[in-house]
Structure 1
Amino acid sequence: MTWQEVRCGGDLPDARYGHSCHLVGSRMFIVGGKGRSGQLYRDVHFLDLVDWTWVAVNATSTGPSPRFWQASVLVGHKIVVHGGWNGSNHCYEDLWVFDTDSFAWMQPRTGGLPPTARYGHAMVLLPDGRILLSGGATIDEKCVPVYHKDLRQLDTETMLWSKAKTTGGIRISSRCNHTLTSDEEGRAALLFGGWGLGGLQHHENNKRAGAVTLAACSMLPHEAVSTNLPLLRGRGEPEHKYGHTCVSVGNAFFVFGGWNGQQACNEIVVFELESG
Structure 2
Amino acid sequence: MMEIEQQSDGEGKVGKFYLVEPVQSRHAGYKVPYPRSGHCCVTDDRNLYVFGGYHPEYQRPLEHPNPEIEGNMIIFNEVFQELWCFNFDTRTWCEVETTGEPPRQTASMSMTLAGNVLLFFGGTCFPWGSISNNKIYMLDLREKRWSVLQVTGEKPPKKYGQAIILLQDKLFVYGGCRQISEFEFLFDSDLHMLNLQTQIWSSLSDSKSQTREMIEARGMYRHGLAHYNNRIFIIGSSWTELYAHKLQTKLHAFNTDTLEWELVNIAPSRDDDYPERRVYHSSVQCGNDVYICGGHNNVKIYDDVWKLSLSELRWTRLTAVMPQPAFFHSAAVTSTKCMYIYGGVTCLEDRVRTSDVYKIWLEPHIPSLLELSWKTILSHIPDIYGVPREHLLMLGVPRHLIDRLKPVWPV
> What is the TM-score with the length of structure 1 in the denominator?
0.84
- 1:208 is aligned to none
Q: Which of the residues 3, 15, 18 maps onto 1:4?
A: 18
Structure 1 272/202 Cα, relative in aligned 2: closer, same or farther at 3 Å?
A: farther
Q: Residues 232 and 272 of structure 1 are in contact (CA less than 8 Å); yes or no, is this contact kept in structure 2?
A: no
Local SS of the residue matching 1:227:
strand
Local SS of the residue matching 2:280:
coil
> Does the alignment pair 1:23 with 2:43?
yes
Segment drifting more, 114-123 vs 234-243: 234-243
Sequence identity percentage:
19
Q: Distance in 2 between matches of 1:274 and 1:251?
A: 6
TM alignment of 1:195-206, pairs within 5 A: 195-196=238-239, 198=240, 200-201=241-242, 204=245
- Higher-Rg structure is 2
Higher relative contact order (CA 8 A, sep 6+): 2
Shift of 1:267: 0.9
Shift of 1:193: 1.6
Local SS of the residue matching 2:135:
strand
Q: Residues 250 and 266 of structure 2 are in contact (CA less than 8 Å); yes or no, is this contact kept in structure 1?
A: no
- 2:377 is aligned to none
- 2:170 is aligned to 130
- 2:124 is aligned to 85
Q: Residues 218 and 252 of structure 2 are in contact (CA less than 8 Å); yes or no, is this contact kept in structure 1?
A: no
Q: Distance in 2 between matches of 1:30 and 1:234?
A: 33
Structure 1 98/238 Cα, relative in aligned 2: closer, same or farther at 3 Å?
A: same
Q: Distance in 1 between matches of 2:227 and 2:54?
A: 26
TM alignment of 1:206-221, pairs within 5 A: 214-218=251-255
Residue type of the alignment partner of 2:308 = F
TM alignment of 1:145-184, pairs within 5 A: 145-164=185-204, 173-182=218-227
> What is the TM-score with the length of structure 2 in the denominator?
0.58
Shift of 1:76: 2.1
Q: Distance in 2 between matches of 1:228 and 1:214?
A: 8
> Does the alignment pair 1:106 with 2:126?
no
Q: Distance in 2 between matches of 1:231 and 1:195?
A: 16
Local SS of the residue matching 1:16:
coil
Segment drifting more, 24-33 vs 233-242: 233-242
Local SS of the residue matching 1:80:
strand
Q: Distance in 2 between matches of 1:231 and 1:100?
A: 40
Q: Residues 250 and 264 of structure 2 are in contact (CA less than 8 Å); yes or no, is this contact kept in structure 1?
A: no
The aligned length equals 261
Q: Which of the residues 300, 320, 324 maps onto 1:263?
A: 300
Segment drifting more, 148-157 vs 240-249: 240-249
Segment drifting more, 150-159 vs 241-250: 241-250
- 1:74 is aligned to 113
Shift of 1:117: 0.8
Shift of 1:271: 0.9
- 1:43 is aligned to 82
Which structure features the higher share of strand residues? 1
**CA RMSD after TM alignment:** 2.8
> Does the alignment pair 1:142 with 2:182?
yes
TM alignment of 1:43-62, pairs within 5 A: 43-62=82-101
Q: Distance in 2 between matches of 1:177 and 1:275?
A: 25
Query: Which consecutive aligned stretches of 4+ in structure 1 deviate over 3 angstroms post-superposition?
Result: 186-189, 200-203, 224-236
Shift of 1:66: 4.5
> Does the alignment pair 1:247 with 2:287?
no
Local SS of the residue matching 2:133:
strand
Structure 1 52/157 Cα, relative in aligned 2: closer, same or farther at 3 Å?
A: same
Segment drifting more, 99-108 vs 232-241: 232-241
Q: Distance in 2 between matches of 1:202 and 1:181?
A: 24
Unaligned runs of 5+ in 1: 206-210
Q: Distance in 1 between matches of 2:180 and 2:47?
A: 38
Shift of 1:231: 7.5
Q: Distance in 1 between matches of 2:195 and 2:243?
A: 31
Local SS of the residue matching 1:61:
coil
Shift of 1:27: 0.8
Q: Which of the residues 116, 119, 122 maps onto 2:157?
A: 116
Q: Distance in 1 between matches of 2:171 and 2:126?
A: 26
Shift of 1:124: 0.6
